[in-house]
Amino acid sequence: MGAHLPPALRRPAVLWTALIAALAAAVITVLVVVPGDDTGEASYLDPDAPIADRVADLLGRMTIEEKVGQMTQVAVPAIEGVPADIGDLGIGSLLNGGSDALRDTPEAWAEMIDGFQSEAMGSRLRIPLMYGIDAVHGNGALPGAVIFPHNIGLGAAHDPALAAEAAAITAAETRATGVHWTFAPCVCVARDSRWGRTYESFGEDPGLAVEYAGPVVEGYQGEDLAANGSVLATAKHYAGDGGTALGSSTTDDYLLDQGVTTLTEEELRSIHLAPFKAAVDAGVGSVMVSFSSTDLGDGPLKTHGDAYLVNEVLKGELGFDGFVVSDWQGVDQVSEDYAEAVRTSINAGVDMVMVPFEYRRFIDTLLAEVDSGGIGEERIDDAVSRILTQKFALGLFEQPYADTAGAAEIGSAEHREAARRAAAASQTLLRNDDGLLPLAGDESIYLAGSGADSLGRQMGGWTASWQGSVEAVTEGTSIRAGLEAVAPDAAIAYSETASEPIGDADVGIVVVAEDPYAEGIGDAGAGAHDMRVSEADAAAIDTVCAAVACVVIVVSGRPIEITSHLAEVDALVAAWLPGSEGTGVADPLFGETPYGGRLPVTWPRSNDQEPMNVGDAAYDPLYPFGFGLQTA
């Protein structure tokens, strides 16, 4: 009988026994995925086990080096040349970092991220990476993705359900590229419109941010965080970044941004902490701490190192059970002594550090602090447990690689229609003399202004790059093209600078705009982003509005000083930063939908009135908070 057996089965008994043992060991290794571990079956690999049990089991198998790796987030440009460091150092997360779009298609994005993921899956414990990106008003890093209005416009719409729909679509168009995590929503309360991040706020009243925070978090995270259309949300920037005072920053270029918020604890809680409570109550998975400092009367303290605000208030009082991530190199600002900065921030409650480049320095420093006793290992275990909990919730241990099944829906007609509705709902009518609007749609129209035919300006920052671009950077419909689509019977003549003859036009439309920016005071210096109409746009208003009945549409991330240009203006519309669908600006202009937007921030007569907020004792704005004319 033995003569008929395959050669492998005609080995001497000792070899046969060894072969069986080797095969069994290989099977165990595959099942347990912990080479060299003899503790038995790894329950962290059991998808049916409770997440808390899986976290505890995995944490018990990790070395201190692997734990510290999980607390490290690295920018892609820093790791591209040495991808093996992901597995060798157990790095827990990567981020795009606001750089130009790295890939042009969902499939190319997925291939890139999967390549990094394969390095993580080759590590001893095969702990998957999380990949984060600033998909704050659509997946702006992907050409062709739908871009929604920035938060300031969504706040003007006063429709949290619409904002939640925008978040859900953004999540779907982001997860389909292999990205698991978005650094959104920003639930800051903008108390001074000169702040360059006002556009990221839902408004100046904390009630707006509270109203929006929960639905938007739920829109991103969905009912099941592991679903292909869901991404981990991030409530940012904790806490008080919208209340920084002009001139309080030590970095001249940032003036308001990264400065100091000085107020009482009662004011901090009622204005700036309330939206975070709403986000936590909605189950937000991560919170990003702010670059700014808070001064409650004892002097300014960087939030990255504020144990009271992070450990006691956020994780204690508010019951936040997700993880806290730093902002870009934010830990470095806590102290000039790097070891002290790391020690203070981690002990204050920061769980994951957006390094983003010198990751070996961070890892070595954190390990040294643990070794010396400056940071207790129980603090490390708490941080890593929080991070791993979200990775299990995202389903990354079962499906670490990208599922691009939803890629076909990116930029779909259905998604663009939702963005169009959001843009239309955000349009805020501030003046309408003699009922000029809505237009009939069959007029002879003279169109001018820097925002009339500029996708880049109407989308703003965080679109294809950190700062955005004046140039067309993704697919969409400009305001000019939107007018032509919504009113095909109108005769539209276009001259950006109003240098062409106006002729016998029935009405003029001048679209004035800010250039895109992301942070600071606009990131290009006070002279470039001073919240005033540019000289070219001012000249266009003067030329067009002196000659014909005139509509001025303002494309901006905040109110701009326009009082001195209004003498000849018949209708004024705040379009905010409407996103990729310029048809949404045109819809109420021609009566396809009514104007219904209301100001989410006070519109001052002069920038010298800032900061000015509803409820102030001296309150004399051009248009008050909540103002907005309605049309049928």
Q: How many CA atoms lie within 13 A of 360 on its CB side?
A: 5
Beta bridge partners of 493: 446
From the candidates 519, 523, 537, 570, give the one annotated as an active-site residue.
519
Residue 519 a catalytic site member: yes
Evaluated on CA atoms 233, 238, 243, 247, the torsion sign reads negative
Closest listed residue to residue 197, CA positions, set 471, 478, 529 = 529
Tokens in use for 196? Answer: 């360059």
Asked if the peptide bond before residue 516 counts as cis, ω within 30 degrees of 0, the response is no
DSSP string for residues in 83-129: THHHHHHT--EEE-TTPSPS-SSHHHHHHHHHHHHHHHHTSSS-PPP
Degrees (nearest 5) of the Cα angle 70, 74, 75?
Answer: 155
CA 114 to chain centre: 22
Tokens in use for 558? Answer: 């905040």
Residue 475 a catalytic site member: no
For residue 77, what are the CA distances in angstroms to 94, 97, 330? 10, 9, 18
The distance in angstroms from the start CA to the end CA of the chain is 93
Rg of the chain (C-alpha set): 27
Q: Report how far residue 613's alpha carbon sits from residue 375's, in angstroms, rounded to the nearest whole number.
A: 42
From the candidates 327, 351, 443, 514, give the one annotated as an active-site residue.
327
Tokens in use for 594? Answer: 């009514």
503 dihedral zone (left: phi>0; alpha: psi -120 to 50; beta): left
Q: Residue 285: helix, strand or coil by DSSP?
A: coil
Q: Report how far residue 278's alpha carbon sits from residue 380's, in angstroms, rounded to the nearest whole number.
A: 27
For residue 260, what are the CA distances in angstroms to 237, 245, 253, 266, 272? 13, 6, 15, 17, 13
Closest listed residue to residue 585, CA positions, set 427, 474, 458 = 427
For residue 74, what are the CA distances in angstroms to 144, 162, 172, 330, 391? 26, 34, 24, 13, 17
H/E stretch holding 272 reads none
Classify residue 560 by burial, with Cβ atoms within 10 Å: 0-12, 13-18, 19+. Answer: buried
Beta bridge partners of 421: none
The catalytic residue positions are 327, 519
